[in-house]
Structures are given as C-alpha cells and as structure tokens.
Structure 1
Amino acid sequence: MSAGDPLPISIVLGSAAAVGTLLHQFFRTVEADRYPLSILGSVIGSHWAVAYGLQSTSEQYASFWASHGLAFLIVSTAVVSLWANILVYRAFFHPLNRFPGPFGAKLTKLWSLKQVVGSDIKWYRVASELHKQHGDYVRIGPRELSVLDTAALIPMLGARMEKGPFYGAMERSVHTNRDAAFHKQRRKVWDMAFKQTLADYGPTIEDFTDSLLVRIDSLVGKATVVNDLCIHYSYDVMSSLAFGSSTGFIDGTSSDVATTILNNIKEGIVAVGLFLHVPWMLTIVETLSFVGPMKLFKSWSSEKVAERRKMNNNRPDIMGYLLEHTEDNRENRALLDAESRVIIGAGSDTTASALATMFTILANDPACQEKLRQEVNESFEDGSYTCARPQNLLDGVISETLRICPPVLFAPQRMVPEGGIRIGDVDLPGGTILSFSTYNFHHDKRNFVEPGKFIPERWTTKPELILKKNACIPFVMGPYKCPGKAIAMMELRSVIAKTVCRYDISLAKDAKFDLNEFFLGVKDHFTAGIPEQELVFTRRKE
C-alpha cells in the first residue's frame, strides 16, 4: 500500500471499535443521563467531521454520498462498540451483579419502563412482586437497587446520601436539585415561609372548606365524582396559600386558562410517572418543555409569580415570603418560577389524592364514619375544634389512609457516597442508586399487622398492630421531608371533620364496589392516580 492510499476498511472499522471501547471507560466516570442531547449532538457532529475529513484527504471519498456513507459506517461502528462494551460490563462485570434481579434490568432502565407500561402504570406493584421474589435488595437498573429493608431507611434519608439522577433531570428548585449545600440553604427559607405563616393558614383553609360545603349542598342526593371535588378544593387552597389568590374552581369562577392548566398538569403527571424511570428521557422532556402543553403551564406559573410580586397582600402566603427573602436576579427569578411549579404540584395533587381516598373509604365504612362524627361533634360543642389541633380518631383515619394509599407513590432515589456503605450485612458500592417504595414499606407484614386492611385504631387504641412505626413515611423524613406536612394535615382535618358532620357519605345506589379492587386500581402517576369514584352526599338533620 503506497503513501496516500486509504487505509483498509477493516483497519478503519477496527479503530472505530477501539474508540468505542475507550469511550466506555469515559462514560463509566460520568452520568450520561444528564446529557442526552449533548451526546446526540456529539454523534452527529462526529459524523460530519469524519465525512469532511474523508472528503478532504481522499479522492476516493470526495463525493458527498461516498464520504457520508463511510462516515456513517465508522461512527455507527464506534457507537455499536460502545453499547456492546456497556452491555457486557453491566451483565457480567458490574459491582451490583451479586444482587438478584431480572436480567433485563441489569442492561437498561428501559426494562423498568416496559414494566410500568405493562402494569398499567403501577410500578409500586411491580416492585412489590420483585421483592417477594428476590428479597429486600433487588437490582432494577444497571446501577440501581430497590430497597425494602427498614434498617436502610435512616441511612437513605439522612444527610450523607445525595439525591439520585431523577432530581437532576428537571429544572432547579428546592426539591429538584442534587446539591446538598444549596438544598440546605434554600430549605431554611422554605421552612421559615411555612413557620411564620402557619398560624394564619387555618382561617383560610376553613373558608375554602366552607365553600366546598356550599358546592356539595348543590349536589346533595346526586351521584358525584368525588375526585373532581377534591382536586378543585386542593387547587383553590394551594393557589391562595401560595400566591394570595384563588383559582376559583370550587365556586365555578375559574378561567379557561386555569382549567386548561389543570388538565395539562394531570397529563404531565402521567408522563412523569413513565419517564422518571429513564432519567435521560425526562431530561429531554424538560429541555423541550418550551413547546407544547408544558409551555402553557410554565408561562402560567411564571405569571402567578409576577402577579404576586406586584401584589400587596395583608394575609401572608408562601410565595410572598420566598420573594421577600430571595435576591432579585435572573438566576433567582428562574428559581422562583420553578418553585412555584413545585408548590402547585406538591401542594395540590397529593392532598386531592388523600381526600378522594378517604372519602371513598368512609363511604364504604358507615360505622367508622359515625365514630368519627361523634368525636368531631364533641370538639365543636366544647369549642376545642380547630383544623390545626390533632384529634384522636380523625388523625388515626388520616394516618391510616396515608399508610394504606400514600399520595406519592414515586420511589425516591438516593446515591450511595463514594467508598460505599454497609447496612447490616449488606455492602453497597459507592455510586449505587437506591430507590424505595413508600407503598411497599407500608404494606410489609414485618412493619404492620394485616397491612392490607384499613384499621385506623392501630394509631389510637391498638398500637400493637404497628410493629415498626418508623416504616410509615408518607411525608418522608430527614432533611428532605415534606415542608408542607402541617398544612396538608390541616386541610385533611378541616374537610373530613366538617363533611362527616354535615353529610352522610355513601356509595352510589346499586353500585358494585369492593375496597380491595378500588386499591388495585390506583396508578403510579408520580402522585397516586386514584380511580374515579361516584359518591352520594346526603344532608343530615341539624
């Protein structure tokens, strides 16, 4: 072969395969999930660079089709080599290979996505079956374990472990970020926002509950989809407490834009429930959110922040405090816009799910409804009622509802720190992603006696039915626990207390209903997707 002759194709492709092998070593040191579009751009750029090089250095490949044909073959060989190396490493040499789990899960998170779709978006039930088959630590991804060991809860939810890839795939906020130092500093502002305004929230919540009762009065005796009542109530309360103005869903004054936004959010939560298992897909969805339904949601939430910035509000609200204690610059304006969306999602859908579940359970259990009514009536009569004050059975009903059907079914992710950790007799390598299903901890027989049964007395007169109380974590715990727990409890107490005292709640006449079947229909839309349920509210005699 003389100088200037092109190299044989076998050598060229062999070199491309070697490049793929080297790239695998590089990708083992970075989280590629965070850069899907950059990687795609690099592949496309490499193709054009190789094609240009071929055109410039070889007359044989001077034509467009010849140069691009060979460039495509070279780049494809490198990519195939990269993927082959990745798959072989994941299947046979990865440190997590000693943990049991489905073979497909070792290779790709697309396996999890397939299970989610095949289970009708019920990943928590997929995880339950995996743990029954494989034990407390199950490999559900190339570098991810699903955990059902209560001894792991404190380490996982402590300050030492950073959040997993899901939290870095979305826009930066107090919730969606993986920077522990940033979260600690920002969380202080959030905690003060809730603490300093909590005393004023009670009257606002009670006002909206009274408006909800007026709405129910107009529906007395009619079969009513309770889910709609709950979501309208929770969005109105969220909007008022967060931005100082109501969305007007309860009284029917909501704008067409607000109604469209609500529907978009419902659809968006379903999408998140799918893509959260494949973070690089979620990153692409977030990157492209400047178009489509998410564009409208982002524009609307940003407008709410801008309106609140100009508003003089005598009643304190969350965004007002955040605005006051956040320096006004471009970066922080984007932060506040993102956090407005956290408030909208986390502050409404979770409460609505819990309320819809609780109403359905009570409609199926008239005896529990009557006991609850007696307790609440006594508190009204002696003047001790306030939604901020815990009540024995009422709080037991709420706690049991949150245990048996957690409003957030998403399995939080944590990252094992460099050097690894040991939990009991289990060694976990550094860089391992740990995820844990709240639902499965709540339904584990090692934690609760008869976990599938709704028994509110386990939180009151039958504590022996709770074997491990710290396994009940509907609001999570540790530095990342839900900052809005107190407000959520106030909303749930207010609605349930006032509703059971005013109405008999029952299932629609001749309705075929089974509570276990109802629970089997709950979907994992990030938050719990509660099946639509028609209930009848009958006004009680004063």
Structure 2
Amino acid sequence: MNGLLFQPISKLGVHLYSSCALAGGAGLLSHHLYFIRGFHVLNATRIACTHVLVFTLLLAGAAVENGFLSGARIAVAIFSSYLAALFLSIATYRLAFHPLRRFPGPFPAKLTKLYGPWLARNKRIGDEFRFLHQRHGHFVRVGPNEISISHIDALKQIHGLQTACSKKNNASYDVIQFKGEFNLDSITDHAEHRQRRKIWDKALSKTTALTYEAETRTVVKSWLAQLERLQGAEVDTSLYAKHIACDNMGRIGYSRDFRNIQGDGDSLMFDIIEITFRTMSKLGQLIWPLVLLFSLPRFGLQKKFEEVSVAMTEERLERHNDSEDLHDIMKLFIEDFLSSKPQAFRNRNILYADAQAIMVASTETIACALGFSFFFLARDAALRQQLREAIAPAHGRSFPGEFTMAYLQGIEFLDAVLNETLRMSTPVPLNGPRTTPPQGIEIGGTYIPGNVHIFTPPHVYHRNPEYFQQPDEFIADRWLTRPDLILDKRAFFPFSLGRYDCVGKSLALNVVRLTLAYTVWHYDFELAPGQTESAFWDGYVDQVVVKPAPLKCAFTRLRVPGVCG
C-alpha cells in the first residue's frame, strides 16, 4: 500500500516527490505574485472556490490513476505541500520583511488575523486594545497589516478634513451593503458620501429636531407611565434603555409606534440586530468569514432582517403620498428618491441600505449611553440630587410641567454627566479602521507605511492617563470645576471625528437628555437589593456596540408625571 504513494500520476507527468516540490513552488509563487499584492479580502469567495476546485481536480486525477484511497493520500500530500509553502512564505514575509515588522505587538498578531477572534474571546475587545497599548506604547501592531494608535496627533491627521487617509481598500466597510449599495457609514467615496450626508444633515437639522423632540417626549412619557405601572417592582433599566431607543427610532425614523416600552411590541427586528452584532464581534476584525457568509444566498436571521427592513421602507413609501403630516427621517430620503433628479437616493436599494442604518444607529448607541447613565446615577444619590437641582430651572419654562431641549441643552451639569458617561463607556470602543495613503503618513515622529489599516480606538483614548487623570473614575466635575483632570480634551471623541463623524450625535444626546431629565425629576432610583456594581461591570459586553448588563433598580415616585411641580 505504501508503494502506491510513490507511483507516478500520469496526468501530472511527475512522481509524487516532484509533484510536491512543484506544488510547494506554486505556493511560493501564489504568495509573491498574488497574495502579497493589494487587498484580496473581498475575493475570499473566489479564492476559496478556486482552491476547492483545484483540490477536487487533483483528487479526481489521482483517484483515476491510483484508486480513491491512494489517490486521496496523494492529493492531500500534494495540496498540503502547496499550503505549507504558501503559509510558510506568508509567515516569513510578515515576520521578517513586512513594512510593519519593526512595530511592537503580540507575536501572534504579526502572523495572522486569527488573533482578532482571540482578542474578542471575552467580549471585551476594547479593553484588550487598551491593555496592548499599556504594554507596547502608542503604536501597536494588532494584525499583519494593522496598527492601533493612541497618539493624540493621530486624531487630526487620520480623521481631519484634510486627511489623506480613507476608508477605501478596507473590507470592514465594503462588506456592509445591501445588494451592492452602501449605507452612509460604509460609503468609501468622498463625493458620494458628501451628497448622501447632505440629505442626512437636512433630516437631522435643528428645524426637524423640533418635530423629533415632540416624538421623543411621547416616548419618554410612555416610559414614565410604565414606571407608574411597575411601582414596587424591580426595573431592569438596561432593558428599558433599549426599549426607549427602539421606540424613539420607530417614531422619528418611520412614524411608527413599536410599543416596546409597553411590552406588547414586536422585538424580532432588534433581536436580529443584536444577534448579528454578537456574531460580528466574535470575529474581532476578521472580515473574510463575513465575505464568505454574505456571498451566499440570504438565509435565516440575515434574510429576515432584510425582509423586515424592506417591508418597513415599502410601507413608509406607501404612506408618503397619503399623509403630509408625517415628519420623520425617512421623509427626506423618500423626497430625494422620488424627485426628478435625486441627489443621493438614486434607487430603492440605497433607500433600503440607509433604512437599515437608521434601525441600527438610532437604537444601539442610544441604548448604550442611556443604560450606563442609569447605572452611574443609580449608584450615587448625591449625583442624582445634584442633577435634579441643575435641571430644576429648566422645568416648565417652555410649557407647564415639561422639559424642552431649548433649555436642557444649556445645563452644564447635565452635559457633564453625559460626557463622563460617554468617556467611561464609549458606545463604539474601537471605531472603524482607515487606510493610510500609498505614500504613508507620519504621526508623532513615527512613520506609518502606505496601504496599512489603522485604528484610533476611542476607548483607549478615553481611559488613557496621558489625557485624563484618574481615567477609571466617574467624575462629572472634570468637565466643570475640575478641568485639571482633563489633560487633553482632544482625546474625547465618543461620536468619531471628521467627515465620518456620527451624523445623529445631536439627536442621540437629545434623547438621553430628555429621558434623564424626566426620569430624575419624577423619580428617585437606586440599585435594587442584590444588584451590585461589580455584577454590572462584569456583565457588559462589547458586540461592535457596547451592550450594558442587566441593571435592576428600585424606583420611588417623587412627583406625579403630568402634574406641575
């Protein structure tokens, strides 16, 4: 039987040893002529299919000549030689010849992108990046072609309006699409992004914000009514933070009432979003499995999410001509789509892509910010009282018994609480990567080669003692009476920076401001018996956007909602 392994394969014309040597040579050539040149993540499906096809043909040829069992051994030996040479060449290049070879970082990260899932194993990849920077400094090689940066000069040079860095040649964005069309955040072309951003900016302008404020107030009143119904019961504020964000998104995004706060809404869509994020987060920054997955016909949860988002968009389109009273984000998108010369929404798939962006961006970040705000307030009675006193002058100034953004936006202590919450618990710890220009870029005296993917993780900056003293302590006064605790305010960017900053940041802050103002004014609340701070800190997870852990709180009514006082 062993002799069969060394019999010639007539179709290849060489003996097994020679065949393995040729296969090894092919592995070296494939690396130096193809894999080492350019970005190929988006070709993952084609690459995988090509290799499967080659192995299948090799197996078939060897099986015909030598029988299936011996042929399989021969095919495996030859193909293994190819893979061994390919991976050995890749490893040698990445360790000894890659432009990033001199940058510090964990040894496995220099070899393989599979280190990303390892970093994400505990669902705290933001903390893992922070630990890496504490160990290796401002510039850390976190992947074969990736550098994470915590130097303050990086922010302007990478995210500034004049930057030469871009989102192009970066599969992290290319993979996020709907039938070939990208949402606002995943557009890599500056001109296209600028045109789409104009519509979004109009949809989220100060004028439209007045309409959205009324809808948000309706959602907050539903939250207060639910607290009234739950008197005496422990309330999971993290869960209701998600419900508030979702119901608010339904109203300002689609003019729909999802009724999640009341407990009789359909949460399927939001469950799908969470499961999708959870899956993506397990991959770290490993993208090619997503390329393979998304190249398949849609099935399961992904198919259901697309069906739901399309159905909601189509229903909103049908209602567009039936009612002039609908004022939401989709209205501006639809008006551009139906115009004779659309500026941005040229087809339905673009409309669907940004409709999905509304669902995700308008819920997850707000739920995170609001959930952690409840936590920091619930554990500190003095903080709640101080906030209550700070918002008192704004109560009833525009309407009897009500708060309005016109006056809440000017309350410094409220903003200080929000800023410190966002610093301590940044909704998106890593932010999206950028690609350096071909000529490279110099940051803080360190040269970063061209065509390298670079990260500026907000969580790393926000918890860095170089920029914030006592970085792990919640101190709202650092934004007011203790400016000495902020060493460099540029390091605070919870909503990203530059042309790709969060278009809905003002909207998100307004939702949190209104919710906290009404809640603190009408109720006092604290951690429920058995609920510990450590359980909350240990339980939150980073799944692209941070998800707060369940937080049981006990509420005590101070004033009757709707009654002046």
User: What TM-score comes out, normalization by structure 2 length?
Assistant: 0.88
Q: Secondary structure at the match of 1:140?
A: strand
Identify the residue that residue 148 of structure 1 maps to in structure 2.
150
Moved more, 221-230 or 11-20: 11-20
Moved more, 442-451 or 519-528: 519-528
1:83-482 equivalent positions in 2, closer than 5 A: 83-117=87-121, 120-158=122-160, 159-163=163-167, 164-171=170-177, 172-195=182-205, 197-254=208-265, 258-288=266-296, 290-312=298-320, 313=323, 314-326=325-337, 332-383=347-398, 385-389=403-407, 390=409, 391-482=411-502
CA contact (8 A) 1:47 1:68 kept: no
CA contact (8 A) 2:12 2:19 kept: no
Q: Equivalents in 1 of 2:526, 2:346: separation in Å?
A: 51
Q: Equivalents in 1 of 2:62, 2:523: separation in Å?
A: 80
Question: 1:41 Cα deviation (Å)?
Answer: 0.5
- Over 3 Å counting, the alpha-carbon distance change for 1:337 and 1:368 in structure 2 is same
Q: Equivalents in 2 of 1:193, 1:161: separation in Å?
A: 28
CA contact (8 A) 2:16 2:78 kept: no
Moved more, 234-243 or 32-41: 32-41
CA contact (8 A) 2:277 2:544 kept: yes
Question: 1:407 Cα deviation (Å)?
Answer: 1.5
Question: For residues 430-464 of structure 1, what are the alpha-carbon distances to aligned partners after superposition, in whole Å with 9 as ceiling and x for unaligned?
Answer: 01111122111011111112111111122223222
Question: 1:191 Cα deviation (Å)?
Answer: 1.7
Q: Secondary structure at the match of 1:247?
A: coil
- Over 3 Å counting, the alpha-carbon distance change for 1:5 and 1:247 in structure 2 is closer
Question: 1:289 Cα deviation (Å)?
Answer: 6.9
Moved more, 425-434 or 380-389: 380-389
Q: Equivalents in 2 of 1:97, 1:303: separation in Å?
A: 50
Question: 1:338 Cα deviation (Å)?
Answer: 2.0
Question: 1:482 Cα deviation (Å)?
Answer: 0.3
Selected match of 1:505 from 525, 529, 532: 525
Question: For residues 55-104 of structure 1, what are the alpha-carbon distances to aligned partners after superposition, in whole Å with 9 as ceiling and x for unaligned?
Answer: 9xxxx828666666644543443233212211111122111111111111
Question: 1:168 Cα deviation (Å)?
Answer: 1.7
Q: Equivalents in 2 of 1:319, 1:113: separation in Å?
A: 36
Q: Equivalents in 2 of 1:180, 1:73: separation in Å?
A: 49
Residue 525 of structure 1 aligns with an amino acid whose one-letter code is Q
CA contact (8 A) 2:531 2:552 kept: no
Selected match of 2:30 from 7, 12, 23: 23
Question: 1:483 Cα deviation (Å)?
Answer: 0.4
Q: Equivalents in 1 of 2:297, 2:345: separation in Å?
A: 19
CA contact (8 A) 2:317 2:334 kept: yes
Q: Equivalents in 2 of 1:533, 1:234: separation in Å?
A: 16
Moved more, 258-267 or 323-332: 323-332
Q: RMSD value over aligned CA atoms?
A: 2.5
Question: For residues 143-168 of structure 1, what are the alpha-carbon distances to aligned partners after superposition, in whole Å with 9 as ceiling and x for unaligned?
Answer: 11111111111112134211243112
Unaligned runs of 5+ in 2: 1-7, 560-564
Q: Equivalents in 1 of 2:554, 2:210: separation in Å?
A: 34
Moved more, 531-540 or 215-224: 215-224
Q: Secondary structure at the match of 2:526?
A: strand
- Over 3 Å counting, the alpha-carbon distance change for 1:128 and 1:24 in structure 2 is same
Question: For residues 111-136 of structure 1, what are the alpha-carbon distances to aligned partners after superposition, in whole Å with 9 as ceiling and x for unaligned?
Answer: 1211211xx21011111111111111
Q: Equivalents in 1 of 2:186, 2:263: separation in Å?
A: 33
CA contact (8 A) 2:429 2:546 kept: yes
Question: 1:340 Cα deviation (Å)?
Answer: 1.6
Moved more, 134-143 or 379-388: 379-388
Q: Equivalents in 2 of 1:6, 1:445: separation in Å?
A: 66
- Over 3 Å counting, the alpha-carbon distance change for 1:197 and 1:63 in structure 2 is same
Selected match of 1:9 from 9, 13, 16: 16
Identify the residue that residue 526 of structure 1 maps to in structure 2.
544
- Over 3 Å counting, the alpha-carbon distance change for 1:517 and 1:211 in structure 2 is closer
- What fraction of aligned residue pairs are identical, expressed as a percent? 29
Residue 270 of structure 1 aligns with an amino acid whose one-letter code is R
Moved more, 79-88 or 330-339: 330-339
Q: Secondary structure at the match of 2:38?
A: coil
User: What TM-score comes out, normalization by structure 1 length?
Assistant: 0.92
Q: Equivalents in 2 of 1:27, 1:324: separation in Å?
A: 45
- Over 3 Å counting, the alpha-carbon distance change for 1:63 and 1:185 in structure 2 is farther
Q: Equivalents in 2 of 1:213, 1:124: separation in Å?
A: 34
Question: 1:270 Cα deviation (Å)?
Answer: 1.1
Moved more, 84-93 or 426-435: 84-93
Residue 9 of structure 1 aligns with an amino acid whose one-letter code is L
Residue 18 of structure 1 aligns with an amino acid whose one-letter code is G
Moved more, 370-379 or 60-69: 60-69
Identify the residue that residue 5 of structure 2 maps to in structure 1.
none
Q: Equivalents in 2 of 1:144, 1:133: separation in Å?
A: 17
Question: 1:306 Cα deviation (Å)?
Answer: 0.7
CA contact (8 A) 1:170 1:283 kept: no
Question: 1:228 Cα deviation (Å)?
Answer: 1.5
- Over 3 Å counting, the alpha-carbon distance change for 1:206 and 1:50 in structure 2 is same
Question: 1:331 Cα deviation (Å)?
Answer: 7.6
Q: Equivalents in 2 of 1:461, 1:381: separation in Å?
A: 27
Question: 1:376 Cα deviation (Å)?
Answer: 1.4
Moved more, 424-433 or 280-289: 280-289
Question: 1:198 Cα deviation (Å)?
Answer: 2.3
Q: Equivalents in 2 of 1:251, 1:30: separation in Å?
A: 52
Q: Equivalents in 1 of 2:208, 2:463: separation in Å?
A: 35
- Over 3 Å counting, the alpha-carbon distance change for 1:181 and 1:382 in structure 2 is closer
Q: Equivalents in 1 of 2:488, 2:251: separation in Å?
A: 37
Q: Equivalents in 2 of 1:67, 1:315: separation in Å?
A: 68
Question: 1:520 Cα deviation (Å)?
Answer: 4.5
Q: Equivalents in 1 of 2:297, 2:406: separation in Å?
A: 38
- Over 3 Å counting, the alpha-carbon distance change for 1:305 and 1:5 in structure 2 is closer
Q: Equivalents in 1 of 2:517, 2:291: separation in Å?
A: 42
Q: Equivalents in 1 of 2:230, 2:308: separation in Å?
A: 31
Identify the residue that residue 537 of structure 1 maps to in structure 2.
555
- Over 3 Å counting, the alpha-carbon distance change for 1:4 and 1:281 in structure 2 is closer
Question: 1:308 Cα deviation (Å)?
Answer: 0.8
Residue 513 of structure 1 aligns with an amino acid whose one-letter code is T
Question: For residues 185-216 of structure 1, what are the alpha-carbon distances to aligned partners after superposition, in whole Å with 9 as ceiling and x for unaligned?
Answer: 32222222222522311111111111111111
Q: Equivalents in 2 of 1:339, 1:97: separation in Å?
A: 39
Question: 1:266 Cα deviation (Å)?
Answer: 1.9
